[in-house]
Amino acid sequence: MIEFKVETRDDGIGVVTPQGRLNMVAARRLKEVLGGLVGDGTSRIVVDMAETTFLDSSGLGALIGGLKSARQAGGDLRVARPTESVLNVFRLTNLDRVLRPRDSVESAFDE
């Protein structure tokens, strides 16, 4: 099963950490978490994927859905620290350009 750690930093950036496998069941919950953040006015979001052991196309869909609604609200969604398994899926789907992985959570919004 998966857990989501969610925190809002002092600079207003929301950090979501999916801990476990981001598959079909988990994707629905990630969608809710991301939608909730944007709805509450947090439109700059970092998804820390250092503890995401698996990602499938529905998890990807939830990330892209979050990216779109964050951008619509004037912000952005960035992914940081993907595991090898997650990076592999980014590459196979050619989404490593759209979801360009950042090296750290702290600096994910630096440029």
Per CB under 8 A, residues contacting other proteins are: 1, 21, 23-25, 54, 56-58, 60-62, 64-65, 67-68, 84-85, 88-89, 92-95, 97-98
Provide the 3-class DSSP secondary structure of residue 45.
Answer: strand
- Pick the closer one to other proteins by CB: 61 or 101: 61
How far apart are CB 97 and other proteins at their closest, in Å? 8
User: Residue 102 and residue 96: Cα distance in Å, rounded?
Assistant: 11
In angstroms, what is the minimal distance from the CB of 39 to other proteins? 18
CA distance 76 to 91: 21
Give the separation between CA 8 and CA 101, rounded to whole angstroms: 20
Tokens describing residue 28: 């629905």
Of 8 and 58, CB closest to other proteins:
58
C-alpha span between 41 and 61 (Å, rounded): 22
Whichever of 89 and 105 has its CB closer to other proteins, that residue is: 89
Helix (H) or strand (E) holding 92: helix 84-92
Give least dist CB 88 to other proteins, A.
5
> Which C-beta is closer to other proteins: that of 65 or that of 101?
65
> At closest approach, how far in Å is the CB of 16 from other proteins?
17
